[in-house]
Structures are given as C-alpha cells and as structure tokens.
Amino acid sequence: MQCTKCDREAVTHAAYAGTHLCETHFLRSVEKRVRSRIREDGLLPDEATPESPTTWVLGLSGGKDSVVLGAILQDTFAEDPRVELRALTIHEGIEGYRDESVEAAERFTEEFDVPLELVAYEDEHGVRMDDVAEDDPENMAPCAYCGVFRRDVLERYADELGADLLLTGHNLDDEAQTALMNVLEGDVAQIAKHFEASLGPMEDRAEQDAFVPRAKPLRDVPESEVALYAHLRDLPAQIAECPHASEAYRGEIKELLHGLEDNHPGTRHSILSGYEELAKLAANAREDVSEDLGECDRCGSSTARDVCRTCSLLSSMELA
Ligand code: SF4
C-alpha cells in the first residue's frame, strides 16, 4: 500500500484517520501530535526563560511509552534553554523484569544525554515488590500496592528535583481505559481528581500547591503506534511484561476497547475527548480537594487522612 502523503510504501494504516503512512511521515505524525499536545495543554509557560527555565521530570520506566516520550521531548527541547529535562526511574524490586528496564532507562539517558535519578522502593520504603506479591497482607493485587508506592516516590522526588511538571508516558489506550473504568465505576470524585491532576490545559486545572502538576503529552498516540515508533527508531526500550501484572479489570476493558476500535475506528479518541470535557465539568463543580489535605502523622506527606496510604500499607506489612 502506498503512503497517503507521498509515493513511498506505507508501514502502517491508521483506520481512525483513514491514512496509510510511510516511515518518514509516520514518525513525523507521532512527533507532531506530541508537540501539539504540549502546546494545547500549555505545558511550556510564558514565564520560562533561558535565565529561569522550567524543570520537567519524566517518569522513565524504560518501557516503550516513557522512552518514546523522552526521545521526542529531548529532540524538541535539548537545544531550548527554557526547558530542563530530567528523568526519574523507579526500581520496584522485581527480579529480572525491572533490572532489564532500568538498564534500558540507563541506555536511553546516556544516548539522549538526560540526567537520571534512580530510586528503589527498597531504599525508600524497605520493601521489594517480589516480597509484597508473596506476602500480600491486605489481600490486594500487587499492582494496588505498587501504584500507591510509585505515586508516593514520584511525587516526593519530583518535588526534590525541583520539578515544575511531572511527565508520564501514558498513551491513548491507557487513558481511554482509565476513562472508561472511572465512568463504569461511577466514581465522579475520581473523575474530577483525574482532570485536576493530569488532564486538560494547565490554565483550566485548579491550583494544587500540594502536588507537582502532571502531564501526559503522549495521550493522543495509540499504544500500537508507540511500539512501532520505538521499533522504527530502534530506541532502547524494554518489551517484557511485569510478572506481577494483575489488573484484571483493566485487561477486560482493554479487550472491550480493542473490539470497539476494530468495529468503530476512532472510539478511543472520542471516549477520551468526551471524558475530558465531562471531567472538567466534574472538577469545576466540586471544591478544591487540596483544601481537605493535611499532613500524614508518620511521614508528613500530603494526605486527606491522618496516616497516608503508603504508611498504612507499610504498617500492615510491619515495616513502617
Ligand atoms: Fe507494579 Fe503492577 Fe506495574 Fe508490575 S504491573 S510494575 S506490580 S504496577
């Protein structure tokens, strides 16, 4: 099949856009979507100058999503003195799997000249996910613990590194799945929080002094295109899946969305754009959550409870 934009052979077909693209036009189209998203979400503030640059911390797992986002960010901003990009990689303590992805993150940051901070759950919280998965004192899935510990480490280190923005490599599939899960769970407060924390233009989000704002500039790019982009550019990304992956409900939603997208191309895009509008309305309709936040009695981090979720999980493991 020929490329829709030139006479070269197409490497991919995007049914939702009705296009076939060759390698050059495909790579450009992914980069263009990320740069447009950065512009539309107002991620680079007018106040950023060469004398007073904005600091962006990228959550770099070493998987394809964060590596692709890091490559496009560095290609775009490496020569721009208004932006300082740093990477933050977390080692969860998962034998084999995480060692490989940390190696990928190290190769990426060397190749693209991005300073890297490496943090391990074991050093921060005295736990390894391999042990948590074995003991599971709260009888939850491993990802439920891991998500809480990761959020805690990302927020604390983003703050310590002086981040103005914490960027993560969530792609279109990830975000459409989260949107659908939040709607199906009927959790309006969670939908509002999702918007305030990481969706939409920065100017529309409520001021949240307690947390570094998040951004997901890869969220217009489907997962399969992120994988193809990483492959075509031969980026150092880890492919293997975590042995503790346990989000069964997300797996069901993923399957559902694949089927819908096959039969009705563009479903993921329309879910996400409609959800962002709804989430913005939900966020505007409720009071600023930061007003309810206090400090954790144990670690001092921001929380709406007396003891934050991380400390209560650690305490249930008798490790706090
Ligand atoms: Fe953690 Fe679950 Fe991701 Fe594995 S799949 S790294 S346990 S959140």
d(CA 305, CA 54) in angstroms, rounded, equals 32
pLDDT > 90 in the chain, percent: 66
Parallel, antiparallel, or unpaired for β 54-59 and 165-167?
Answer: parallel
For ligand 1, is residue 146 a contact (CB within 6 Å)? yes
d(CA 43, CA 46) in angstroms, rounded, equals 9
Q: Are residues 18 and 62 in contact, defined by beta-carbon separation less than 8 angstroms?
A: no
The protein residue whose alpha carbon is closest to atom 5 in ligand 1 is 245
**Phi and psi dihedrals of 100, rounded to 5?**
-65, -40
d(CA 130, CA 234) in angstroms, rounded, equals 30
> What was the pLDDT predicted at 249?
87
Distance 236 CA to ligand 1 centre (A): 20
Q: Is residue 257 over pLDDT 90?
A: yes
Atom of ligand 1 lying closest to residue 61 CA: 6
Fold of 34-319: Rossmann fold (3.40.50)
pLDDT > 70 in the chain, percent: 96
Task: Calculate mean pLDDT across residues 219-236.
Answer: 97
Give the residue extent of every domain in the chain: 34-319
Parallel, antiparallel, or unpaired for β 19-21 and 12-14?
Answer: antiparallel
Region class of 121: left (phi > 0), else alpha (psi between -120 and 50), else beta: alpha
> What was the pLDDT predicted at 288?
56
The protein residue whose alpha carbon is closest to atom 8 in ligand 1 is 143
The protein residue whose alpha carbon is closest to atom 2 in ligand 1 is 143
Say what the pTM is.
Answer: 0.92
d(CA 75, CA 199) in angstroms, rounded, equals 23
CA R_g for the chain: 20
> What was the pLDDT predicted at 320?
44
Q: Which tens digit of pLDDT belongs to each residue from 283-316?
A: 888 765 555 678 888 888 888 888 888 888 888 8
For ligand 1, is residue 143 a contact (CB within 6 Å)? yes
